[in-house]
Amino acid sequence: MTTRYTRDHEWIRLDGDIAVVGITDYAQEQLGDIVYVELPEAGKTVEKGGEFCVVESVKAASEVFAPISGEVTEVNAALGDQPGAVNESPEGTGWLIKMKPANKADIDGLMEQAAYAAYLETI
């Protein structure tokens, strides 16, 4: 399972036919302590680059954008009670949604970990 990244600091990992999506460690560091996560409904169709979620921290609210188009199949309901999981494990238990990609090949157009790390150095 290869993880890919966007310039907006989302990550996506394909697991069979389902993609898991969340925000990167860099994004959660910039936000600070996350206090609320507004997740979409399962069944919602999201468009690449479109907002699908809002993450609120003690500092600010930040939109999260879909790295690819597809249909939300599951949301991380545990974040309702434990939004801090996004801070503690942004690429693990702090995942946001699972989705069925409209086109799995779209993931290939995103940055691999080395490219994302190089991008972070330019910010």
How many helices and strands in the chain, by DSSP H and E?
3, 9
Domain 3-103 is in which class? mainly beta
| Measured distance CA(3)–CA(70) in Å, rounded | 17
**Residue 36 exposure: Cα atoms within 13 Å on the Cβ side:** 9
Q: pLDDT tens digits, residue range 58-107? A: 999 999 999 999 999 999 999 999 999 999 999 999 999 999 999 999 99
List the structure tokens of 66. 């879909």
Contact status, residue 32 vs residue 59, Cβ threshold 8 Å: yes
Per-residue pLDDT, 61: 95
Per-residue pLDDT, 24: 98
| Measured distance CA(3)–CA(60) in Å, rounded | 27
Q: pLDDT tens digits, residue range 9-54? A: 999 999 999 999 999 999 999 999 999 999 999 999 999 999 999 9
DSSP sequence for 57-106: ESS-EEEEE-SS-EEEEEE-GGGGT-TTHHHH-TTTTT--EEEEES-GGG
**Domain residue ranges in the chain:** 3-103
